[in-house]
């Protein structure tokens, strides 16, 4: 069985970024439907997507809701740095920060046998 970590780093500011987050969710969905272990990590400016995707009016909201059990890490440090920590907390997203210098640890994911794919 594959173990895959989908990492969203894309900001929310452009159509290209929307395409990246949508591709990230589609990739996660494909792996999940095949029975693979999937973790979705939001880091850097990507933490802002939690707020956007939680909006029921967003075109990817339904897919995000379906995959929410696979969201394992939202960088606490970055959520604070980008001013969305209170909104992310309100969404019950898993704010984490104990990895590497208060960010999710990509090294630990690799050590745990996950293939890391970034968007």
Domain topology for 3-118: Hypothetical Protein Ychn; Chain: A, (3.40.1260)
Can you give the residue ranges of every domain in the chain?
3-118
Q: Is the pTM of this model over 0.85?
A: yes
The DSSP call for residue 1 is: -
Residues 86, 16: Cα–Cα separation, whole Å: 26
Both tokens of 113, joined, read 């046998």
- CA distance to 24, 25, 31, 66, per residue, from 117 (Å): 9, 12, 12, 20
Q: Which is more confident, 87 or 71?
A: 71
The string of pLDDT tens digits covering residues 7-26 is 999 999 999 999 999 999 99
């Amino acid at each position: 069985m594959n173990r895959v970590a989908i990492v969203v780093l894309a900001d929310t500011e452009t159509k290209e970024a929307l395409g990246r987050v949508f591709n990230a969710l589609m990739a996660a969905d494909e792996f999940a439907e095949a029975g693979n272990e999937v973790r979705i990590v939001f880091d850097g400016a990507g933490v802002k997507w939690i707020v956007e995707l939680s909006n029921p009016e967003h075109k990817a909201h339904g897919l995000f809701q379906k995959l929410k059990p696979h969201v394992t890490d939202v960088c606490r440090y970055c959520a604070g740095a980008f001013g969305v920590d209170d909104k992310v907390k309100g969404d019950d997203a898993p704010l984490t920060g104990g990895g590497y210098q208060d960010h999710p640890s990509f090294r630990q994911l690799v050590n745990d046998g996950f293939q890391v794919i970034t968007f």
